[in-house]
Amino acid sequence: MKKHLYLAVAATSLLISGCVTLNDYTTPKAETQTEAKTAPTQQDAKAFLQNAEAEIVELALRASKIYWINSNFITQDSNWLAAKVGEEAGLLSTRLANEAKRFNGLDVPADMARKLDMLKRGSNFPAPDKPGAAGELATIMTELNATYGQGKFSYKGKEMSLGELSNIIATSRDPQELQAVWEGWRTVAPPMQKDYARMVEIINEGSKELGYADTGVLWKAGYDMPADDFTKEADRLWNQVKPLYDELHCYVRAGLNEQYGDEIVPLDQPIRADLLGNMWAQSWGNVYDLVKPEGEAPKVDITALMAKANYDEIKMVKVSEKFFTSMGFDPLPDTFWERSLFVKPKDHEVVCHASAWNLDDQDDIRIKMCIKKDGEDFKTVHHELGHNFYQRAYKHQPVFYKDGANDGFHEAIGDMISLSITPDYLVQIGLLDANDVPPASADIHLLMQQALDKIAFLPFSIMMDQWRWNVFSGKYKPSEYNAGWWDLRTKYQGVRAPAARPVGAFDPGAKFHIPGNTPYMRYFLAHILQFQFHKAACDMAGNTGPLHRCSVYNNKEVGAKFNDMMRMGSSKPWPEALEAFTGTQKMDGSAIIEYFDPLIVYLKEENKDKKCGW
């Protein structure tokens, strides 16, 4: 999935690494002892929040521009600037969190209490309140991100970037080549492990100062429920959808076995991770040709359709924007088109990972992508714009609430829009001829393609933060990082490394979101919520056909209701935002089961004589 930098948002995730010093609110040293003896009042809390908001806004604007430059021009100087502003951010985040604790136990209105609680949680990566800690943390985080962004591996005499190596993983059917490339990319990660372990020490110390047992508990505290309850909630949602994944795993393993044989793909073991068409085996769509259902089915090839219609990168974005304007949203501002990055520069390094940016918390919204003119990026652009329209919807909120209702909402909104990229939608935008819409008999093929991406992703997305929670809690020591990673990948995904991993391997570091320090539970929740949102939207639109054939393109009623939820930002607990659009306060995986029901029936029939599990 894609990383989204919600710069200049609520203090809980400000700039991912925190914020500056308290100038206006902090009292002079001569007055500190007297003030400490005075019980704080509601008026004190109000003044504190006002001054905190002013400082957050000032730093957020400056920092967002620095991070934008650093992601688009990776140099020693831009790394230095990013580290310095990250240090400022860490200092403010720590100070605000400690100042906010002064108001513990004070009776304040619910809105003030929510803001104070957000400040006390600080950033997801808090530095302890001691000299040098924030600077050291900011430097480590900047270096980790840069090391990943500049990662390369020499293969067959050519130095290749991640994108080039990923293309080999996606297209090669030579198991020796796949193993060599898969192992090669992971050579970029071991130099990160020492810094990563040091970062964990720093942020755990910072989390404990804020009253949390470790950073994992801090992260889970952002879901409007106790940490243990959230862990149980994630497990409940996973168990709702796990039966579908188990059937898909069994079916795909059998298909790969036919291609590669028993030695490469034994039918009673986890699947080799390098054989699944993706560098991290997080989505399996690139092996569709090896596991597609029998029989011919008309294929909607968006890449070919775009080529025929002479789509370029800008046209892809324009068409994606039209999806939102068809639902009643205002067009993107002119600055979006002037300031976004759409095409990879030829003369310098950039972080190509697709991302949506909100630089001023108002209308300076942008995307940063090295767009490829293919079907995958056609959907990705729709997804990224979902973030931008969400960011703009809550621009009127105080800075504390300029974020998704929970971190899964932002991802889910973009993905929900992608679910409406159906053949009927392609007809409406003139990309597909109505006579070429696949018949209902082709639905199994279409659902299989989707499941290989979306259902295969579910266990990967839940284990990513399971690994980090275990790292933060100390369950995994640095020497156990890699073994713990593969224990979880086997447990949840049923995948394994192609060969024994060498001593010193740090395979988690080969996945952007680990050195990039982006919590991943948001993606798991997003995969649950996107289908729940899609079902609610289709019900609202009066859809009477199969859920997987529904598109809400051009439905302004759905758009208005959708905007009502998005405008709330994080001003209310997420169950209230969820209820505003879906009518229920409970996340629910049943919409996934309904969406893929025809495929489930097919998979069970195909697997009835197979040995499943690992």
Evaluate whether 170 touches 182 at the Cβ level (below 8 Å): no
Q: Write the DSSP string, 318-362.
A: HHHHHHHHHTTPPPPPHHHHHH-B-S--SSS----S-EEEESSSS
Written as one letter, the residue type at 541 is: A
User: What per-residue confidence (pLDDT) applies to 13?
Assistant: 34
Euclidean distance between CA atoms 580 and 356, whole angstroms: 25
Q: What are phi and psi of 271, to 5 degrees?
A: -80, 140
> Which tens digits make up the pLDDT trace of 25-76?
233 333 344 444 588 999 999 999 999 999 999 999 999 999 999 999 988 9
Written as one letter, the residue type at 539 is: D
Q: Write the DSSP string, 490-541.
A: IIII-EE-SSPPPTT--GGGGSTTTTTT--SHHHHHHHHHHHHHHHHHHHHT
> Which tens digits make up the pLDDT trace of 519-530?
899 999 999 999
Residue 76: count other Cβ atoms within 10 Å of its Cβ. Answer: 7
Cα distances (Å, whole numbers) of residue 173 to 27, 166, 274, 292: 66, 13, 10, 16
DSSP for residue 25: S
Same domain, yes or no, for 67 and 211?
yes
Q: What are phi and psi of 159, to 5 degrees?
A: -75, 120
> Which tens digits make up the pLDDT trace of 469-482?
999 999 999 999 99
The H or E element containing residue 154 is strand 152-155
Evaluate whether 179 touches 274 at the Cβ level (below 8 Å): yes
User: What per-residue confidence (pLDDT) applies to 2?
Assistant: 32
Same domain, yes or no, for 362 and 419?
yes
The domain total for the chain is: 3
Q: With 90 as the cut, is the pLDDT of residue 349 above it?
A: no
Same domain, yes or no, for 496 and 557?
no
Same domain, yes or no, for 535 and 547?
yes
Q: Is residue 352 part of a domain?
A: yes
Q: With 80 as the cut, is the pLDDT of residue 248 above it?
A: yes
> Which tens digits make up the pLDDT trace of 164-198?
999 999 999 999 999 999 999 999 999 999 999 99
User: What per-residue confidence (pLDDT) applies to 14?
Assistant: 32
- Tell me the whole-structure pTM to 2 decimals: 0.84
Written as one letter, the residue type at 345 is: P
User: What per-residue confidence (pLDDT) applies to 3?
Assistant: 32
Tokens 């999935």 correspond to 1
Which residue did the predictor score with more confidence, 91 or 575? 575
Evaluate whether 90 touches 18 at the Cβ level (below 8 Å): yes
User: What per-residue confidence (pLDDT) applies to 222?
Assistant: 87
Q: Is residue 611 part of a domain?
A: no
Q: Is residue 357 part of a domain?
A: yes
User: What per-residue confidence (pLDDT) applies to 298?
Assistant: 72
Same domain, yes or no, for 370 and 401?
yes
Same domain, yes or no, for 207 and 66?
yes
Written as one letter, the residue type at 149 is: G
HSE-up (13 A, CA, CB side) for residue 364: 12
Q: With 90 as the cut, is the pLDDT of residue 604 above it?
A: yes
Written as one letter, the residue type at 23 is: N
Task: Find the domain containing 69 and state its range.
Answer: 11-29+36-147+195-218
Q: Is residue 470 part of a domain?
A: yes
Same domain, yes or no, for 319 and 453?
no
Q: Which tokens in the block code for residue 201? A: 């020490």
Euclidean distance between CA atoms 568 and 574, whole angstroms: 10
User: What per-residue confidence (pLDDT) applies to 37?
Assistant: 58
User: What per-residue confidence (pLDDT) applies to 97?
Assistant: 86
Q: Which tokens in the block code for residue 106? A: 């004070």
Tokens 């829009």 correspond to 417
| Average pLDDT along the chain | 90
Non-local CB neighbours of 73 within 8 Å, separated by 6+ positions:
348, 349, 350
> Which tens digits make up the pLDDT trace of 274-292?
999 999 999 999 999 999 9
Same domain, yes or no, for 173 and 275?
yes
Same domain, yes or no, for 544 and 432?
yes
Q: Is residue 414 part of a domain?
A: yes
Cα distances (Å, whole numbers) of residue 129 to 87, 91, 301: 12, 8, 55
Evaluate whether 211 touches 120 at the Cβ level (below 8 Å): yes
> Which tens digits make up the pLDDT trace of 426-453?
999 999 999 999 888 889 998 999 999 9
Q: Is residue 612 part of a domain?
A: no
Q: Point out which residues pair with 161 in neighbouring strands.
A: 152
Same domain, yes or no, for 122 and 212?
yes
* Helix, strand, coil percentages in the chain from 3-state DSSP, rounded to 5: 60, 5, 35
> What percentage of the chain has pLDDT greater than the value 70?
94
Non-local CB neighbours of 589 within 8 Å, separated by 6+ positions:
237, 240, 241, 528, 531, 532
Nearest to 381 by CA among 412, 349, 415: 415
Q: How confident is the model at residue 163 (pLDDT cuts 50, 70, 90)?
A: confident
Same domain, yes or no, for 209 and 340?
no
Q: Is residue 63 part of a domain?
A: yes
Euclidean distance between CA atoms 237 and 100, whole angstroms: 34
Total length of the chain: 614
User: What per-residue confidence (pLDDT) applies to 439?
Assistant: 87
**Mean pLDDT lowest among 194-203, 222-231, 571-580:** 222-231
Tokens 């919409």 correspond to 591
Written as one letter, the residue type at 237 is: L
* Residue numbers annotated as active site: 384, 513
Nearest to 258 by CA among 296, 282, 209, 292: 292
User: What per-residue confidence (pLDDT) applies to 294?
Assistant: 85
Q: With 60 as the cut, is the pLDDT of residue 24 above it?
A: no
User: What per-residue confidence (pLDDT) applies to 352?
Assistant: 86
158-197 burial code (b ≥16 CB/10 A, e <16)? eebbbeebbebbeebeebeebbbbbbbbbebbbbbbebbe
User: What per-residue confidence (pLDDT) applies to 377?
Assistant: 94
> Which tens digits make up the pLDDT trace of 133-147?
988 998 999 899 888
Q: How confident is the model at residue 425 (pLDDT cuts 50, 70, 90)?
A: very high
Same domain, yes or no, for 178 and 326?
no
Q: Is 233 exposed, middle or buried (0-12, 13-18, 19+ CB in 10 A)?
A: middle
Euclidean distance between CA atoms 163 and 165, whole angstroms: 5
Q: Is residue 6 part of a domain?
A: no
